[in-house]
């Protein structure tokens, strides 16, 4: 779904004009946690090597967060206010040169602070898109401050067709401070359809059970369910059975469970061998032999089927999560880390979008809630956080949770990609020709047209800042723009953002 090479659906971050190995070969060990800025670290990670990403980045909430002194997370702090000082000019250059749709989204933001935040997020989402496998999924946790802009960024990076759901998590029940106070967060989910697992189902509402499952016998609670379906049929399902003609019952036909959970339950528990019976009438007889037909007392009433409540019957979670309470101060899992999320929330997402041994990645892992939840469900995991407290907490939390010592790798270095094959010299003729075609001869600085010989190949992100020699990081500048590049200051960025 998240095919990095599909133009039009998603932004092309991976050029295919040199050999790129698109296999999931991680260049890190399972259970690695990095301390550092996630951007250079992700730039060093191999493409298509992660199955599930959950990120809970700063929200641009204009707040500063700090853990209480004395808590397990003491020392953890991060600011959530964005200014132009947080933005590297090269990032904007990269977006302008290579991702025009993203550029549009950024310029749709109203304030410089919001634009700065979106640039910060956009460059990171591009890396996440590259790192995620084409079968993978990504959940972006945010709040109403920026969720509307972030959804546009996600559409631009991952493709609108990959959008799966916008989840609302009711994170608090009461806010007495103001009318229409915010009680929810938003989780944007893109990627592959979530799976329905019995242990991810929610308990049925007792009121619903009382209202709908009114009958009860030794086999459990049951409700009376129609045995017919819309439209008549000329086959056996349209013929009368025991004197009841479905055609005369509003033009219908016999419709009995054939597939799905209830058919399986009948076959395995209520009437063993049911699915082996051939023929509609024979199956109806079989159901009756096993007392699964509800013969209503009222004269002329059509027979129905007894639908028992399945032992693990539950509601599939919807995109409205109201059953996961926020972390209380006294909760055992509370580390005191600012903005810590409940394990139950992460467990639900991880179960729905990954399998055993898949790689779960959290690039803003905080006190490692995602990593603990992944570990609990036998997923592989990696995480990054800029705060050193995260590393300390992950080791402690996983040990406390699983009750054993785990081989956790703590790193601060930037990994080196091993999936690029041989990249040609950045300045080679092939690159220059490709870029000349891509930019149609226009200098990416002054936007003027130049003849081929007056243009020079330039690194968008300098090599000294982790920018590579691959085409996704190269552009053509005219000789004069190339000379002045590097001398540009804040005014240049201000002018660009003002447009
Ligand atoms: C909202 S918190 C995440 C909380 C986490 N979900 C949990 O349950 O503990 C955001 C985290 O992002 C981290 N952070 C901020 N900027 C970062 C960056 N550039 N690279 C890596 N981590 C960063 C902060 O230190 C903070 O821990
Ligand atoms: Zn120029």
Encode pLDDT of 326-382 as tens digits: 988 889 899 988 889 999 999 999 999 999 999 999 999 999 999 999 999 999 999
CA–CA distance, 30 with 50 (Å, rounded to integer): 11
Which mutation among 67, 385, 389 tests ligand 1's pocket best, with the greatest number of atoms within 8 A of CB? 385
* Ligand 1 pocket at CB < 6 A: 37-38, 56-58, 78, 337, 339-341, 364, 366-367, 369, 384-387
Tell me the pLDDT tens digit for each residue of 245-293: 999 989 999 999 998 889 999 999 999 999 999 999 999 999 999 999 9
pLDDT band for 498, please (50, 70, 90 cuts). Answer: low
- Ligand number nearest CA of 57 is 1
Residues 6+ apart with CB under 8 A from 223: 212, 213, 214, 215, 306, 307
pLDDT band for 309, please (50, 70, 90 cuts). Answer: very high
Give the bridge partners for 449, in sequence order: 442
pTM here?
Answer: 0.83
Please indicate whether the domains covering 32-201+316-411 and 429-498 agree at the CATH topology level.
no
Ligand 2 centre from 482 Cα, in Å?
A: 7
pLDDT band for 104, please (50, 70, 90 cuts). Answer: very high
Find the mean pLDDT for residues 491-498.
64
Ligand 1, atom nearest to 57 Cα: 10
Highest mean pLDDT among 81-95, 175-189, 319-333: 319-333
- Quick check: 23 pLDDT over 60? no
In this structure, of 82-96, 99-113, 237-251, 292-306, the range with the lowest mean pLDDT score is 82-96
Find the mean pLDDT for residues 147-166.
97
Q: Please tell me the residue having the least CA distance from ligand 1 atom 27.
A: 366
* Domains of the chain, residue spans: 32-201+316-411, 206-308, 429-498
Find the mean pLDDT for residues 378-403.
88
Give residue 29's pLDDT. 95
- Quick check: 173 pLDDT over 80? no
pLDDT band for 113, please (50, 70, 90 cuts). Answer: confident
Q: Of 102, 81, 85, whose CA–CA distance to 150 is shortest?
A: 102
Find the mean pLDDT for residues 43-59.
94
What's the mean per-residue pLDDT of the chain? Answer: 87
Q: Which two tokens stand for residue 335?
A: 């580390």
CB 45 within 8 A of CB 32: no
Give residue 224's pLDDT. 95
- Ligand number nearest CA of 478 is 2
Terminal CA-CA length for the chain: 34
More confident residue, 486 or 305: 305
- Quick check: 443 pLDDT over 80? yes
More confident residue, 498 or 480: 480
Ligand 1 centre from 361 Cα, in Å?
A: 13
In this structure, of 175-184, 209-218, 257-266, 366-375, the range with the lowest mean pLDDT score is 175-184
Angle between helices 100-108 and 147-158 (to 10 degrees): 170
In this structure, of 86-90, 129-133, 162-166, 187-191, the range with the lowest mean pLDDT score is 86-90
Which mutation among 366, 367, 388 tests ligand 1's pocket best, with the greatest number of atoms within 8 A of CB? 366
> CA–CA distance from 106 to each of 17, 146, 160, 326, 357 (Å)?
28, 12, 17, 32, 37
More confident residue, 417 or 61: 417
* Size (the chain), residues: 499
Give residue 288's pLDDT. 97
- Quick check: 9 pLDDT over 60? no
In eight-state DSSP terms, residue 244 is B
Ligand 2 centre from 144 Cα, in Å?
A: 40
Ligand 1, atom nearest to 366 Cα: 27
Ligand 1, atom nearest to 365 Cα: 5
Residues 6+ apart with CB under 8 A from 104: 156
- Quick check: 207 pLDDT over 70? yes
CB 444 within 8 A of CB 93: yes
- Ligand number nearest CA of 481 is 2
Q: What is the 3-state secondary structure (H, E, C) of 95-129?
A: HHHHCHHHHHHHHHCCCHHHHHHHHHHHHHHHHHH
Give residue 495's pLDDT. 67
CATH of region 32-201+316-411? 3.40.50.150
CA–CA distance, 124 with 323 (Å, rounded to integer): 31
Give residue 5's pLDDT. 39
Give residue 269's pLDDT. 95
Ligand 1 centre from 173 Cα, in Å?
A: 25
Ligand 1, atom nearest to 362 Cα: 6
CATH of region 429-498? 1.10.30.50
Question: pLDDT over 70 for what percent of the chain?
Answer: 86
Find the mean pLDDT for residues 217-221.
94
How many CA atoms within 13 Å lie on the side-chain side of 413?
6
Q: Is 241 helix (H, G, I), strand (E, B) or coil?
A: strand
């Amino acid at each position: 779904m998240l095919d990095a090479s599909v133009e039009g659906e998603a932004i092309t971050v991976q050029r295919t004009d040199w050999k790129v190995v698109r296999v999931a070969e991680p260049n890190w060990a399972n259970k690695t946690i990095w301390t550092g800025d996630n951007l250079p670290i992700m730039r060093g990670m191999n493409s298509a090597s992660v199955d599930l990403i959950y990120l809970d980045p700063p929200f641009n909430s204009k707040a500063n967060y700090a853990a209480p002194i004395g808590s397990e997370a003491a020392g953890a702090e991060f600011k959530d206010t964005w200014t132009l000082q947080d933005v590297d000019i090269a990032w904007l250059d990269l977006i302008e040169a290579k991702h025009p749709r993203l550029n549009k989204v950024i310029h749709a933001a109203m304030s410089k602070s919001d634009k700065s935040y979106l640039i910060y997020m956009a460059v990171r989402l591009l890396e996440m898109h590259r790192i995620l496998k084409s079968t993978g999924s990504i959940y972006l946790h945010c709040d109403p401050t920026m969720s509307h802009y972030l959804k546009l960024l996600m559409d631009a990076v991952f493709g609108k067709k990959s959008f799966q759901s916008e989840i609302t998590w009711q994170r608090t029940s009461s806010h007495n401070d103001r009318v229409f106070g915010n009680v929810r967060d938003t989780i944007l989910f893109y990627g592959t359809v979530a799976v329905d697992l019995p242990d991810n189902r929610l308990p049925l509402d007792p009121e619903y059970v009382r209202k709908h499952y009114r009958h009860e016998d030794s086999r459990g609670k049951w409700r009376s369910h129609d045995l017919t379906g819309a439209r008549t049929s000329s086959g056996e399902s349209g013929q009368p059975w025991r004197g009841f003609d479905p055609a005369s019952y509003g033009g219908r036909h016999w419709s009995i469970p054939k597939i799905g959970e209830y058919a399986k339950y009948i076959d395995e528990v209520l009437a063993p061998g049911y699915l082996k019976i051939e023929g509609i009438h024979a199956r109806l007889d079989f159901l009756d032999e096993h007392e699964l037909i509800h013969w209503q007392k009222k004269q002329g009433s059509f027979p129905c089927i007894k639908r028992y409540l399945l032992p693990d019957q539950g509601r599939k979670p919807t995109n409205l999560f109201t059953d996961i309470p926020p972390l209380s101060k006294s909760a055992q899992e509370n580390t005191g880390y600012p903005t810590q999320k409940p394990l139950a929330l992460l467990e639900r997402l991880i179960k729905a979008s990954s399998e055993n041994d898949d790689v779960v990645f959290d690039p803003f892992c905080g006190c490692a809630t995602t990593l603990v939840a992944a570990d609990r469900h036998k997923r592989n995991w990696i995480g990054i956080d800029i705060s050193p407290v995260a590393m300390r907490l992950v080791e402690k939390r996983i040990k406390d949770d699983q009750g054993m010592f785990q081989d956790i790798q703590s790193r601060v270095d930037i990994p080196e990609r091993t999936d690029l094959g041989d990249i040609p010299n950045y300045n080679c003729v092939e690159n220059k020709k490709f870029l000349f075609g891509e930019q149609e001869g226009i200098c990416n600085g002054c936007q003027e047209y130049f003849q081929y010989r007056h243009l020079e190949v330039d690194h968008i992100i300098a090599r000294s800042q982790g920018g590579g020699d691959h085409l996704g990081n190269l552009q053509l500048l005219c000789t004069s723009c190339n000379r002045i590049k590097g001398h540009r200051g804040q005014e240049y960025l201000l002018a660009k953002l003002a447009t």
